[in-house]
Structure 1
Amino acid sequence: MLEWIRETQDVWQRLQNTQKPIVMYGMGDGAVKILQVMKRYGVAPAAMFASDGFARGNLFMGYKMEKLADIQSRYDDFLIVVAFAVHDEPTVNYLYELSQKYELVSPDVPVAGTNLFTMDFVQEHEQEFLQVESILADEQSRKVLHDIVNFKLSGKLCYLADCTTDTDEAYHNIIKPTAQESFADLGAYRGDTIAELLHYAGGCRRVFAFEPDEKTHKKLCAAVEQMGLSDCAICVQMAAYSHEEMLEFDSRAGRQSAIREESLVTGVEGAAKSKIRQVQGQSLDNIAGEESVSFINMDVEGAEKLALMGCQKIIERDKPKMLIAAYHRSEDLFALLLQIASMRSDYRFYLRHYRYVPAWDTNLYCV
């Protein structure tokens, strides 16, 4: 095992071996996924609870949703499994406070794909992790790699606390955008990341924005107009992909809408209902054509590998700065960096993690 792995068992083994009652905090798709994996390991929660404002005695997956006070009145001690994702500071701080009082884990279940981040997974990909560690450009990036791997294995929040930095640091010290960027936003949502670029760069020269969801695309176009970018922006209602192809698209989750594929959740009662429709997949290479691109932002809910294939011509030709979401699939921590390095060997690579539980908003920077 890698010398910087500090855990001797993964979170699923830990749940199997605990003598404490297991209680799950939260409900929704995250809880469905975690319950499904726990079932594989022969583990079941003794109870489930929600924040006081959401605990109304309703049933979820056959469990009555209680308040923490109800759990505390019944058990002297217990192990909490966090089953939702959160990044707002008050809630994240509350989880850290709970972790000081009780044994608490936030299991890593991938947003896309079916590979769980287990001890076996890390051992299987040890050489890739070593290769990535040797390529990363600074000590903070290596710390993020080490801490995120240990977090994904253990579910312990202390690893996230140790490697979290502020968004400003990456923009000021790594990306350093200018007002002359030709910006490609793959997974533009409602224009949030375009607005973020304008905040740090003070403007931009050109925008190529991909957003496959019809309703969200309309909001994106309105936001781009409000930002005064209508004359320099191309906003396409398409999914960033390796080539032109009609795809099945699951728009059940708003911001987490994604190309349909095999999932950890397959027909489980309690999962959010899918809204499947056809959407055009297209490559950035085809949309931008001969126009240069200086900065690519990519957050495409697990389709990053394919979207990068659709940027290969631009990457080889222009060497754009890139900000790539590296947390949707278990393999993203090593596979995306190695994929980009195979296209151009002269990139410098950085990893940063921003406040989020679980380890979402872990990003790869390429400059």
Structure 2
Amino acid sequence: MQMNTPIPNNKTFIYGASYLGLALAQLFDQQNTHYEFIDAYAPRDRVKGKYMYRPDEIKAEDKAHATVYIAVLLPPVKSGVDEALFEQLSQMGYTHLVSPYQTMSEFPETLSIISHDGLLWRNPHDENFVNQQGFETVLSFFNDERSKALLTNIANFRQSFAVEDYIKPDYCEEYFPPEIDLCTGLDDLHILDCGAFDGDTIKQFFAVFKDKIKSYAAFEPELDNYHALTAAASKIKNDFPQANINCFPMGVGNINKVLRFTSGDGAASHISDEGETEIFVTKLDDTHANSTVNLIKIDVEGADLDVITGATELIKQQRPNIAVSCYHQPSHIWEIPQLIKAINPDYQLFLRQHGHYGFELTLYCIDKSRFNYSN
């Protein structure tokens, strides 16, 4: 269907209205450059006052003469996704396509906008993105050269925000990088999933570990996500009746208390003093003091440090393998490894980046009694 809204003669399109797309739009607004948004799947809601066109709604002559800046760098993070999108748009008649990396090179200011203006960490940050002492301390914690190189690259990018320092994802599935086995040294798995979202991780874990999972406790405070989580868990229970699966509509932190919460942001719902709802938050040291736990996954949109602090005794006593997100706040990249090592100096630490813009930056912690890594 062709749209009646006319497209200007200087035809510039931004494909995608997420992080890179919004940063590019902000830059174009500053430069008084006219542009329109197109996206095959994004909601029809207006973005920055502009209509979201579908690629097939643009007239053939406009496709042939338009410049399309492809600005989608979010999941699915798989090798070949960019090439597939190029092919699809080319077949539709678009002739001048600019890749995300070419877009960054042409407009390097976009990377600084993403990092400083609240797009990446949800709130503007004026702080130094690199604590040199913190980075140097954490660098000595890592057991493999790949983790050390990644941390060094992160420090370089945060100081330059240059496209040549931009870190591409490793295209591995989060929690399952081939060289890091979270169930290493474990016959049975007893898992705590902190920030279970809509059941995406419980599906992943049972698909990979199957009958090895004997118990699974999932925490998710956002009610829409929680309902999706319980539906997913119910189906899994039918396939794996031996597993004791429990879902809890609450958050996890370093205190047992009712806190304000910003909901409705999908995976990005989070604890906030300005939140419009209230949730109950609990400590793992209290909920699982007398339970067997040997694997903890933590992805709680900024409260990750609090979860670890609230599980200090559990971690000391049971030494579970841990996968924890390190990208929700700039300081988490050096604070979380230091906290983990302070609780258990025998953890071996590995760092992997599974997403764009530093998203899905995950710290893997495995006690050396289960696995002693050597280069």
TM range (shorter): 0.7 to 0.9
Alignment partners' CA distance in 2, 1:200 and 1:55 = 31
Shift of 1:135: 1.1
Q: Alignment partner of 1:197: what SS?
A: helix
Could you tell me which amino acid in structure 2 is paired with residue 97 of structure 1?
Answer: S
- Opposite residue 101 of structure 2, the aligned amino acid is S
Aligned to 1:307: 307
Structure with the greater relative contact order (CA < 8 A, sep ≥ 6): 1 or 2? 1
Is residue 137 from structure 1 mapped to residue 155 from structure 2 by the alignment? no
Which residue pairs with 1:192 in the alignment? Answer: 200
Is 2:261 aligned against 1:258? no
Q: Give 1:51's aligned amino acid.
A: I
Does the CA-based 8 Å contact 1:179-1:201 persist in structure 2? no
Q: Classify 1:277/1:23 alpha carbon distance in 2 versus 1 (closer, same or farther; 3 Å).
A: same
RMSD, aligned α-carbons:
3.8
Distance 1:309-1:64 versus aligned 2 partners, 3 A rule = same
Deviations 1:116-141 (A, max 9, x none): 57xx432xx11001111111110110
> Counterpart of 1:156 in structure 2: which amino acid?
V
**Aligned match of 2:293:** 293
Contact 1:115 1:329 in 2 (8 A): no
Which residue identity lines up with residue 289 of structure 2 in the other structure? G
Shift in Å, 1:54: 7.0
Instruction: Name the counterpart of 2:101.
Output: 99
TM-score, length-scaled by structure 1: 0.73
- C-alpha spacing 1:200/1:83, structure 2 compared with 1 (3 Å): closer
1:270 equivalent in structure 2:
none
1:220 aligns with 2:244: no
Aligned-partner Cα distance in 1 for 2:322–2:165? 29
Give per-residue Cα distances to partners, 1:26-70, cap 9 Å, x unaligned. 43688668888x79xx95663444335479998533567688997
Which runs of at least 4 in structure 1 moved beyond 6 Å after TM superposition? 29-36, 54-58, 64-72
Q: Residues of 1 paired with 2:43 and 2:235: CA distance?
A: 41
Q: How does 1:99-118 map to 2 (within 5 A)?
A: 99-100=101-102, 103-104=106-107, 105-106=110-111, 107-108=114-115, 109-112=119-122, 114-115=124-125
SS of the residue 1:335 aligns to: helix
Contact 2:176 2:182 in 1 (8 A): no
The verdict on how the C-alpha distance between 1:221 and 1:52 changes in structure 2, with shifts beyond 3 A counting, is: closer
**Is the deviation greater in 336-345 or in 166-175?**
166-175
Distance 1:131 1:23, change over 3 A: farther
Name structure 1 gaps, 5 residues minimum: 1-21, 263-274
Change (3 A) 1:87 1:331: farther
Task: Supply the distance in 1 between the matched residues of 2:214 and 2:264 (Cα, whole angstroms).
Answer: 34
Q: Does the 8 Å CA contact 1:116/1:330 hold for their aligned counterparts?
A: no
Tell me by how many angstroms 1:277 deviates: 0.9
Deviation for aligned residue 1:322 = 0.4
Deviations 1:71-118 (A, max 9, x none): 99688xx9x79587443445545698342475254433433554357x
Gaps of 5+ in 2: 1-11, 87-97, 367-375
Q: Does 1:156 align with 2:163?
A: yes
**Does residue 182 in structure 1 map to residue 190 in structure 2?**
yes
Identity across matched positions, percent: 21
CA spacing shift, 1:56–1:164, aligned 2, 3 Å:
closer
User: Relative to 1, partners in 2 of residues 1:243 and 1:60: Cα closer, same or farther, differing over 3 Å?
Assistant: same
**Are residues 1:170 and 2:177 paired?**
yes
Aligned length: 322
Q: In 2 relative to 1, CA 82–315 (structure 1 residues): closer, same or farther, beyond 3 Å?
A: same
1:256 Cα deviation from its structure 2 partner: 1.4
SS of the residue 2:177 aligns to: helix
Instruction: Give the direction of change, closer, same or farther, for the CA distance of 1:312–1:199 in structure 2 (3 Å limit).
Output: same
Contact kept in structure 2, 1:185 and 1:209, CA below 8 Å: yes
TM-aligned CA distance change 1:170 to 1:32, over 3 Å: closer
With over 3 angstroms needed to count, the CA separation of the structure-2 counterparts of 1:344 and 1:246, relative to structure 1, is same
Aligned to 2:357: 358
Cα distance in structure 1, aligned partners of 2:64 and 2:334? 41
Q: Distance in 1 between matches of 2:133 and 2:32?
A: 36
Q: What letter matches 1:324 in structure 2?
A: V
Q: Distance in 2 between matches of 1:30 and 1:240?
A: 31
Q: Distance in 2 between matches of 1:256 and 1:127?
A: 30
